[in-house]
Structure 1
């Protein structure tokens, strides 16, 4: 079986933007968030007009100060019409003249990025943000001596997803304050967990779950965490998985908007060899299947929060080469062999997501191993081959992923 066809089916970025709200609930006046005092930080701001009934993602690229930023806290406010604002890191040394999609744009101005910030720009991580009108932010206040760093002159992407459910246009105003500390006072660098599970499929008028686990290979301390789902989300639970497999609940929440963060009085210690495991539960009242995606018609499942000391791979649950390192855990009864056959026959992203959701939990390691090989072009071994001739790519992938496919076909569900 040629499992290389899965590469073309994964349409979602594993680091993705948040969703828009459609509730129409009032938000605090963002104008009340004044910039930090001189020398204490910076403010980044986006103002945008959103037409009646319009749902739109917008971006703006900004440049960090020449001395860089050592961020000890963030504060975020946004006006009605938006459910989130996110400030991303990028790999750019200067603001590009066109997007990854080849669209020329004045990126220093507010512009549409309706396929998501990660589709338009080369995103490498998250700096700050919020999905709560009440001001609960991603970063919050870090412990003394801990700061999240932004390199001198780094290019950042400010991204907001708007939905105007009103009959009149709205002027949407989003502001992010980054409060800094002197670099010489920084004892440890913080990272930001931004763990994203793309394997979501909820049947019409039905229920489903999405679950993912990330092994932690270095000792870390988590400052605060929160969830992210869309409006069909009815439950979220995150666990620390001990070395012996014991599960300890560290966060639970039923809200998809005004999402609470759990702030640990003392940072939560996660030891090397342990894992973070999180699950989203959904109920879909609509007469159509709902799958993972960026809009309010879709769903998401994310675990977000600052930790220290930073290891870049932990931020997005990747390996040292930047390839996926997640374990995706299904809630069905399909064997790993059945799951790969299902995935190879899938005619759409949503169908592929459903194959993984329907896989059995006992074969999660083998399912994930086979999928990770596909998504990483044979762990990088077939990158050149798969950039050209399809047959050459297929042959390379069949060889590079042979061990993972063999393990998958032999895996049992219990």
Structure 2
């Protein structure tokens, strides 16, 4: 099937960085966020100059203190011209000399990472961040006794994405404060929901939706949530899905910049076997199709927020092996069999996105299982070696490993 050719295109981690807004140039206030008091936390900072008309993503790698960090709250401020700053965790214990793409770089200094932080570096999770230069951050204030942990000596990636729409250079100043607590006071470890739906395609001068669901296999409590979309986003809704399938709205928002967070007065309890379901609605006034991607020409759909106790699988909606576990829910009428045929003929990521968007909601489980197996996981990991080499060997292996999922898809109805 032609879908095997898309493995190389879509095989990168689904954990993606937010993209920039389109604000004009601003002069940073160098006193807009003072560091925490000694012993109360740390501040990480990036300063760079963005040329007129330039859109650029930049990174800086930082080594966490040798004693690690137990983060109880964050605070983020940055110059207008972007609507995000993200602080990521990585798998590294020392700063690498080159990116995952093989580019040598002094990563301890600010450097361009225009293909995205997750493409350049081995990202494992999110510590803090914001998409509102004057307000709500990702982590906020956690309940007493709850902290997000950064292991001793972990390498962190600070990432910004700016578009300078002005005729003057923009000095971009971004600061992240992490407020800490003594490790012995931590009763529960927090995690960060960073759920990302790549299946977005909005037709020229048209409208579309992107919807995704993640099953929660352990009891958790969610502290706050917020959305992330780009400028074509006109609506967002997140629901808790009960064990009986009943949908309860937990967050709704129409903003794509200066996005408000919803802080639950008491943490929202989600029980094992329930799910989180979120949908982004788009209106596209441009004369071209808009699809998922990192730049301001593209779109995104994300659900973000801290919760506890942490489960690595819940952070990014993966299974115990770290493989994608999402259910992507279309808003069209195509059956699962028709969707697989569409995906087989897809010659690009954009075409594949449209296949999923046009699939029927009733067959979402079967569509997702087949695509996860064929495209995102190389046969649920069984064909990783085969797909690192010969394309024909990869295709044969994936066909065999995914046969049961494909059969179930062919039989699935939309009702």
**TM bracket, shorter-chain basis:** over 0.9
Q: Contact 2:23–2:164 at 8 Å: present in 1 too? A: no
How far does the alpha carbon of each residue in 1:65-93 deviate from its partner, in whole angstroms, 9 at most, with x for none?
00000000000000122211000000011
Q: What's the secondary structure of 1:26's corresponding residue?
A: coil
Once residues 338 and 45 of structure 2 are traced to their aligned partners in structure 1, the CA distance between those partners, rounded to angstroms, is 49
Shift of 1:10: 2.1
Q: Contact 1:28–1:133 at 8 Å: present in 2 too? A: no
Using a 3 Å threshold, how does the CA distance of structure 1 residues 289 and 2 change in structure 2: closer, same or farther? closer
Using a 3 Å threshold, how does the CA distance of structure 1 residues 105 and 297 change in structure 2: closer, same or farther? same
Report the count of equivalent residues: 414
Once residues 96 and 339 of structure 1 are traced to their aligned partners in structure 2, the CA distance between those partners, rounded to angstroms, is 41
Alignment of 1:50-89 (within 5 A): 50-89=50-89
Shift of 1:135: 2.0
Q: What's the secondary structure of 1:363's corresponding residue?
A: helix
Once residues 229 and 314 of structure 1 are traced to their aligned partners in structure 2, the CA distance between those partners, rounded to angstroms, is 21
Once residues 327 and 7 of structure 1 are traced to their aligned partners in structure 2, the CA distance between those partners, rounded to angstroms, is 18
Shift of 1:388: 1.4
1:174 alignment counterpart? 174
Q: Contact 2:25–2:168 at 8 Å: present in 1 too? A: no
Shift of 1:61: 0.1
Q: What's the secondary structure of 1:306's corresponding residue?
A: strand
Shift of 1:33: 0.5
TM-score, scaled to structure 2: 0.98
Q: Contact 1:95–1:108 at 8 Å: present in 2 too? A: yes
Q: What's the secondary structure of 2:83's corresponding residue?
A: strand
Once residues 288 and 414 of structure 2 are traced to their aligned partners in structure 1, the CA distance between those partners, rounded to angstroms, is 29
Once residues 176 and 58 of structure 2 are traced to their aligned partners in structure 1, the CA distance between those partners, rounded to angstroms, is 15
Q: Contact 1:145–1:186 at 8 Å: present in 2 too? A: yes
Q: Contact 2:6–2:348 at 8 Å: present in 1 too? A: no
Once residues 25 and 372 of structure 2 are traced to their aligned partners in structure 1, the CA distance between those partners, rounded to angstroms, is 40
Once residues 27 and 304 of structure 1 are traced to their aligned partners in structure 2, the CA distance between those partners, rounded to angstroms, is 29
Shift of 1:8: 3.0
Q: Contact 1:86–1:128 at 8 Å: present in 2 too? A: yes
Where structure 2 has 5 or more consecutive residues not aligned to the other structure, the ranges are none
Q: What's the secondary structure of 1:73's corresponding residue?
A: strand
Alignment of 1:184-203 (within 5 A): 184-203=184-203
Q: Contact 2:164–2:170 at 8 Å: present in 1 too? A: yes
1:407 alignment counterpart? 408
Using a 3 Å threshold, how does the CA distance of structure 1 residues 38 and 369 change in structure 2: closer, same or farther? same
Q: Contact 1:5–1:344 at 8 Å: present in 2 too? A: no
Q: What's the secondary structure of 1:208's corresponding residue?
A: strand
| Greater alpha carbon shift after TM alignment, 238-247 vs 165-174 | 165-174
Shift of 1:389: 1.7
2:315 alignment counterpart? 315
Q: Contact 1:145–1:188 at 8 Å: present in 2 too? A: yes
How far does the alpha carbon of each residue in 1:243-268 deviate from its partner, in whole angstroms, 9 at most, with x for none?
00000000000000010000000000
Using a 3 Å threshold, how does the CA distance of structure 1 residues 27 and 134 change in structure 2: closer, same or farther? farther
Once residues 23 and 199 of structure 2 are traced to their aligned partners in structure 1, the CA distance between those partners, rounded to angstroms, is 25
